[in-house]
Structure 1
Amino acid sequence: MINTDVIIIGAGAAGLMCAWQAAARGLKVHLLERAKRPGRKILMSGGGRCNFTNLEVEAKHFICNNPHFVKSALSQYSNWDFIGKVIEYGIPYHERDLGKLFCDDSAKDILDLLLNECEQAGVNLINGCEIIEVKWRDDTGYMLSTNKGGLQSPQLVIATGGMSIPSMGGGDLGYQIAKQFGLEIVPTRAGLVPFTFSDYAGQIFESLSGIALDVTLSNDRASFSEAVLFTHRGLSGPASLQLSNYWHSGESIAMDLLPSLEAEPFLLAEKSKQGRAKLRNVLRELLPKALIKQLELQWWPKEAELAMAEFSNQRIQEIASKLNHWVLKPSGTEGYRTAEVTLGGVDCQQISSKTMEAQSQQGLYFIGEVLDVTGHLGGFNFQWAWSSAFACANALKNSETVN
């Protein structure tokens, strides 16, 4: 039985960060990872470039049943703190739209930073470690049985992530441990995930697979003006992924294909100016040719060969309304298989926002995605990993001072 100051389960972004920070404070840390190598999801993130944070990080960028919960951790370790570390390591990076920061070269640069800091601080990283059982005793603390032997510690940090991308290690271990110690779980579902369609819209999107377009995608809860990507399954791309966090099964969404333009006055003006032109030719300045062809087949097939002047104003108004407000009803999403995050998780009402410790269970901490905190697309989920891990690490104690 190995005795240590703290056991951390999960060597993803949050687990590695917490292990590094805790060990740097002089604690003896054992970091357990089920996979053969740590940080697999870091390596695949951001298309292999790792969108490691954002230039603007505020509580409004996170979804949580307690909207104020994230504020303390974000103030303890900000986006600028992590950016400073990236600069210290000389990792080249660049800004993309909406303040997103990506590595110039590879996500491996971020993983190497974390692993190097863990090594320098003396973290005991155990890969290929399967958790068999977790027990708690008042006199000895947490006792873990694993395929690599037993470990004992007064402090246990759960950094197991959520259900997203099970092929990369996603699972429900963290929720099982939370339930074991009496904590509630906010129902989970896939987040930042593409929409799927089984109706005529799905057929349209399949025919347009690979085409991206800047739109506004919205429902009654949220609206996002970014790109969508048409796929053989439905809709992906930033706007689609963002809105999936605010969508529930059976609901409709709306797509504005011309977010910077009111279609009705534009088309009526074009009718006056280009009366002999066909509608498809007028729209080609604004939309991809392949999309116009599909819309024509669905929205004005009988008038396809008519000149603009032959359209009634009412008919133009009807088509314009659809261009600015195309109502769509997803059949679902692609689910956890491709989801970037898991919505829901350990209920934050039961967790200290300052330390990440469970209020009802001494020495039990939860950090990162396993909690009911989901960031918007754009580096916010990584920032939550860094910030929650730092807050936790700062609260951990040496074994001699735990009691």
Structure 2
Amino acid sequence: MSDYDAIVLGAGAAGLMCAGVAGQRGRHVLVIDHADRPGKKILISGGGRCNFTNTGTVPDRFVSANPHFARSALARYTPADFLDLVEAYGIAWHEKTLGQLFCDGSARQIVEMLMAECAKGGVEVALGRPITGVDHGDGRFRVTYGERTVSAPALVIATGGPSIPKMGATGFAYDLARRFGLKVVEPRPALVPLTLGGDELLFRELSGVATEVVARAGTASFREAALFTHHGLSGPAILQISTYWRHGDPIAIDFLPGRALGWLKQLKRDAPRATVARTLGAALPERLAAALGERLALTGTLADLSDAKLAAAETQLGAWRFNPTGTQGFAKAEVTVGGISTAELSSKTMEARRLSGLYAIGEAVDVTGWLGGYNFQWAWASGVAAGQAIAAA
């Protein structure tokens, strides 16, 4: 049996970050992953260019049963810290909207950087090796993969959640956590398209149409693009709101955000001969304007319509109610809401409170960021926190 100081399960963003940090601080670390390549989800992120962080990272842009849990790790390893690492490797980058940072070249550069950081720390990486056994006794964790069994006083669960199963994602992290007595917050798909049914299927005719909206679910709201699909609704605004949406709840879409209250009545005075269809067509994609106008059933010119009818139309356009039948599931979800309960972990070290030496980081934990690089920043920050704690133990 081979002995290590730490075994990291998962060669993704959080796992590689943790291993590199611990390895460079003198710890003998092994990373094991059943995938044949490291960082497979990194490689497909951001359209292949990896949206590796967000300059607007603050704790309230993360969803968790404990909204304060992520604060410590995020404060101690910031987007600026990760950007310093990116620049140290000469990786060119650019900023898109809303603080999102991307590689100019390829997401492969981020994976190569993480592997180089691991190599600097002498980290061993075993790929294409399914794990067949994990147990604990006498203060050490034993992991069996293939024909080999290894042990260490520290074990890091960094295998992510079940989102994007075609990339090999599973609920392994939750099964392992439960085996060691840790509670798991029920996982569900997040950053995922929503499906529509019934009368709302009429919107299928708009498949491919996108427009800027404000999407709302409960108290959460996002102003970004929404996209109509054959299945329902997608686009950044919908992916964002899906994290907050619960099955059975409606969502509301403001198709004309930023309009002052009473704008239709004012337009009636300024352009009384304009029709509702023409008015909507000036602000929205033609097919969407026609569909909304048809459903509002307002014919004739603005002058023909009472102020009360215009006010009702304005209200509906500003909070068009949809009743999603569900989501497109983990197959289309970018991340997972829920996971290993933060109540079980130290927010400073990511170590399990009830089992010394056991750590959980990244998407495996009940911390989920907004779309736009936030989940990568959580992976880096939680990975660094655990790596430093392992090195200090």
Does the pair score TM above 0.5?
yes
**Whole-angstrom CA distance in 2 between matches of 1:228 and 1:34:** 36
**Whole-angstrom CA distance in 2 between matches of 1:229 and 1:396:** 45
Q: Which amino acid aligns with 2:60?
A: K
**Whole-angstrom CA distance in 1 between matches of 2:377 and 2:127:** 24
SS at match of 1:232: coil
1:311 aligns with 2:311: no
Q: Indicate conservation of the 8 Å contact 1:129/1:148, yes or no.
A: no
How many residues align? The count is 393
Deviations 1:275-304 (A, max 9, x none): 22222112222111110111122221xx44
Q: Indicate conservation of the 8 Å contact 2:281/2:290, yes or no.
A: no
Q: Which amino acid aligns with 1:182?
A: G
1:377 aligns with 2:375: no
Q: Paired residue for 2:186?
A: 187
Which of residues 267, 271, 274 is equivalent to 1:270? 267
Q: Paired residue for 1:355?
A: 349
What TM-score does the superposition give when structure 2 sets the normalisation length?
0.97
**Whole-angstrom CA distance in 1 between matches of 2:67 and 2:308:** 45
**Whole-angstrom CA distance in 1 between matches of 2:218 and 2:52:** 30
Q: Indicate conservation of the 8 Å contact 2:26/2:391, yes or no.
A: no
What TM-score does the superposition give when structure 1 sets the normalisation length?
0.94
Q: Indicate conservation of the 8 Å contact 1:196/1:202, yes or no.
A: no
SS at match of 2:223: strand
Which of residues 255, 258, 280 is equivalent to 2:277? 280
Alpha-carbon distance, 1:307 to partner: 2.2
**Whole-angstrom CA distance in 1 between matches of 2:64 and 2:266:** 46
Matches within 5 A, 1:86-125: 86-125=86-125
Deviates more, 1:159-168 or 1:389-398: 389-398
Alpha-carbon distance, 1:2 to partner: 1.7
Deviations 1:82-137 (A, max 9, x none): 01111111211111111111111211111111112212322111001111111111
Q: Which amino acid aligns with 1:5?
A: D
Alpha-carbon distance, 1:25 to partner: 0.8
Q: Paired residue for 1:202?
A: 201
Q: Indicate conservation of the 8 Å contact 1:254/1:326, yes or no.
A: yes
Alpha-carbon distance, 1:211 to partner: 2.1
1:331 aligns with 2:296: no
Q: Paired residue for 1:150?
A: 149
**Whole-angstrom CA distance in 1 between matches of 2:360 and 2:157:** 5
Alpha-carbon distance, 1:148 to partner: 4.5
Q: Which runs of 5+ in 1 are unaligned?
A: none
Matches within 5 A, 1:2-401: 2-138=2-138, 141-204=140-203, 206-262=204-260, 265-300=262-297, 303-304=298-299, 306-397=300-391
**Whole-angstrom CA distance in 2 between matches of 1:152 and 1:219:** 46
Deviations 1:56-101 (A, max 9, x none): 2111111111222112111221111101111111211111111111
- Aligned-residue sequence identity (percent) comes to 45
**Whole-angstrom CA distance in 2 between matches of 1:296 and 1:285:** 12
Deviates more, 1:274-283 or 1:346-355: 274-283
Q: CA RMSD in A?
A: 1.4
Alpha-carbon distance, 1:234 to partner: 1.2
SS at match of 1:116: helix
